Amino acid sequence: MGSHFRSYVWDPVLIISQIILMQCIFYSFLGLWLAGVDGLVHTSRSLDQIFSYEVLGFSTTQGRLSMMAFTLNSLTCAIGLWFFIRRGKQCLDFTVTVHFFHVIGCWIYNAHLTAALSWWLVNVACMALMAVIGEYLCMRTELRAIPVNTTPKSNL
């Protein structure tokens, strides 16, 4: 059978591996961004900065800096989508999956689901930013011109 251009083969091992990789990228770079922010303001590091609902808020300097770290992390994860997912059609799927598992992790860590509007706003904005930038980068790569060699093949 002939191959189809850009045919998609169902490969659950690849998909699960990509999900795990994107989770690792999400939490690794979020930890690095938060460590950088903590280094600027000389505050102590804890898991509360990643998983606690109360940390993300507009009222405190630490909350605004944590929001900045989450935003910068969405940019880093968009680059991760570009390097490892490489398909514009799948960027939204992987972005929602990463943030879904983050919501589940926060729910388990806090033992309840939050009603804090600031936490939801930050996460939805970061999800949108990550998906749009990741899709833009992937589409730009996918739409690159395919070089056509005009010289005749000698090994026919």
Q: Which two tokens stand for residue 108?
A: 């388990």
Query: What is the sign of the dihedral through the CA atoms of 42, 25, 106 and 97?
Result: positive
Distance CA 83, CA 125 (A): 22
Distance CA 149, CA 62 (A): 56
Over the stretch 35-81, which tens digit does the pLDDT of each residue have?
998 888 877 778 888 888 888 888 888 888 889 999 999 999 999 99
- Supply the pLDDT for residue 26: 96
Q: Which two tokens stand for residue 148?
A: 């056509």
- Within 13 Å and on the Cβ side, how many CA atoms surround 115? 0
> At 1, is the pLDDT very low, low, confident or very high (cuts 50, 70, 90)?
very low
The residue-averaged pLDDT of 128-150 equals 86
The residue-averaged pLDDT of 128-134 equals 95
Give Cα 124 distance to the centre of its chain.
12
The residue-averaged pLDDT of 9-24 equals 91
- Supply the pLDDT for residue 6: 52
- Whether residue 4 is predicted with pLDDT greater than 60 in this model: the reply is no
14-104-79-55 Cα dihedral, nearest 10 degrees:
-160
- Whether residue 12 is predicted with pLDDT greater than 80 in this model: the reply is yes
Distance CA 135, CA 30 (A): 20
